[in-house]
Amino acid sequence: MFGLNKKDTSLLIIVGLLTLLAPFILNPFPEGSAMAQFNAGYPDLMQRFVIFGIFAIGFNILFGLTGYLSFGHAAFLGVGSYSAVWMFKLLSYNIIPAIALSVVVAGVFSLLIGYVSLRRSGIYFSILTLAFAQMSFALAYSVLSNPKFNLTNGETGLQVYADDPQILQGANSPDLPHLFGLPMRATYTMDVGAWSFDFNAGYYLCAIIMMMVFYLSIRIFRSPFGMMLRAVKSNQQRMSYTGLNSKPYTLAAFVISGMYAGLAGGLMAAMDPLAGAERMQWTASGEVVLMTILGGTGTLIGPVLGAGFIKYFENIFSKINDNVLHSWFAFLPDGLEDAVVFVIHPFIGKGWHLTLGILFMLVVIYLPGGLVEGGQRLLNRIKRKKSKADDATSGKTEPAE
């Protein structure tokens, strides 16, 4: 189906079902219960799951296939956001022109940076991309916020104001990002007993786009172009001995990856029409590296899982405080309750990075293939147990040697 083999088609269907049913899957606990703290089915967070999933999928095309580790992909994320907001300011709040411009501008920007950075490989390539990203951050934060040509609005961030031209904005058009009149913040809430489920227009738009780019990434992975990129990762020097020039392939992968990042930045602005220089900082580039490695470098679904995992920790686990812990352990004697809270306190709230760091180290040490490898090991163990049980019930015996 869609030019995919059976395995890839099944994977695409599974991702589609998980995305479609996310409001139910991410809200397993009743509202008002003690465990409702772990629900993640609200629109803003679901949007972040799929947007950063797009960002990580694009990064994986570069890093997972070619082995080139970029520390500067946040530059394309920020450029995409700024481009989208400028379209809102100049034309209208319709998100289609904004998203289109964010992809194009990020593609051109990545072509320029990639052309220079790919002259080197290994750690030198990584440092070059980091340098370009930090220069972009400095430009957005200070230089381009000069009143004479205020393109970024500095530390305040770029946003839409009432006196902006918006030459295509109709009198009856929503005064916030929309898709031909459908506001991205439009949300339908369905109450089922003690549960509450939100169905948000912005989330489903981002989800559809994520499915499209996920399908595109599968086609890239399975194409002759993808095989060439794997050859670059395997042994680039041996490729050059055969007379093949790898530079056009790696540059194409870099540009495609940058366009994915620009698309993610444009969607971020489409959900919340604000662009700030912090999206171009080195920490944002490091975050997508963690997402890809944590999920499984070079796998198809791994970056999406890694993005969801990290964003869940950032938005849910970080909100757990001492009051929540005391409510959980209230059944313990007072002294023991305080001791338990004291031990757990450094790992929650503002200390969520410590917990994430420990989990990341455990994954790197024991699951080099990321969460995908963990899932594969679990499935293989279940299959082995099932086959042993089937052999036992059928009375099958092995001949003596």
**pLDDT, tens digit only, all 401 positions of the chain:** 677 888 899 999 999 999 999 999 999 888 877 788 888 888 999 999 999 999 999 999 999 999 999 999 999 999 999 999 999 999 999 999 999 999 999 999 999 999 999 999 889 999 999 999 999 999 988 878 777 677 888 888 889 888 888 898 877 788 899 998 899 999 999 988 888 899 999 999 999 999 999 999 999 999 999 999 999 988 888 888 888 888 999 999 999 999 999 999 999 999 999 998 888 988 889 999 999 999 999 898 999 999 999 998 888 888 888 888 888 888 888 889 889 989 988 888 888 888 888 888 888 888 888 888 888 888 888 888 888 777 777 665 555 44
For residues 60 and 54, give the distance between their C-alpha atoms in angstroms, rounded to a whole number.
10
Look up tokens 């998203």; give the residue. Answer: 99
For residues 201 and 187, give the distance between their C-alpha atoms in angstroms, rounded to a whole number.
6
- Taking the whole predicted model, whether its pTM rises above 0.85 is answered as yes
- Nearest to residue 310, comparing CAs of 11, 53, 67, 24? 53
In three-state secondary structure terms, 340 is helix
Structure tokens at 227: 């095989």
Helices 247-271/95-117 angle, 10° precision? 150
For residues 148 and 386, give the distance between their C-alpha atoms in angstroms, rounded to a whole number.
71
For residues 103 and 76, give the distance between their C-alpha atoms in angstroms, rounded to a whole number.
9
Check: CB of residue 103 under 8 Å from CB of residue 259.
yes
Which stretches does DSSP call E strand in 206-344? 274-275
For residues 81 and 71, give the distance between their C-alpha atoms in angstroms, rounded to a whole number.
19
Residue 1: the pLDDT is 64
Structure tokens at 113: 């940076």
| CATH 1.10.720 at 6-315, yes or no | no
Residue 200: the pLDDT is 94
For residues 13 and 277, give the distance between their C-alpha atoms in angstroms, rounded to a whole number.
37
4: left (phi over 0), alpha (psi -120 to 50) or beta: beta
Check: CB of residue 371 under 8 Å from CB of residue 309.
yes
- Report domain extents, the chain: 6-315, 316-392
For residues 332 and 342, give the distance between their C-alpha atoms in angstroms, rounded to a whole number.
14
Residue 137: the pLDDT is 92
Check: CB of residue 63 under 8 Å from CB of residue 125.
no
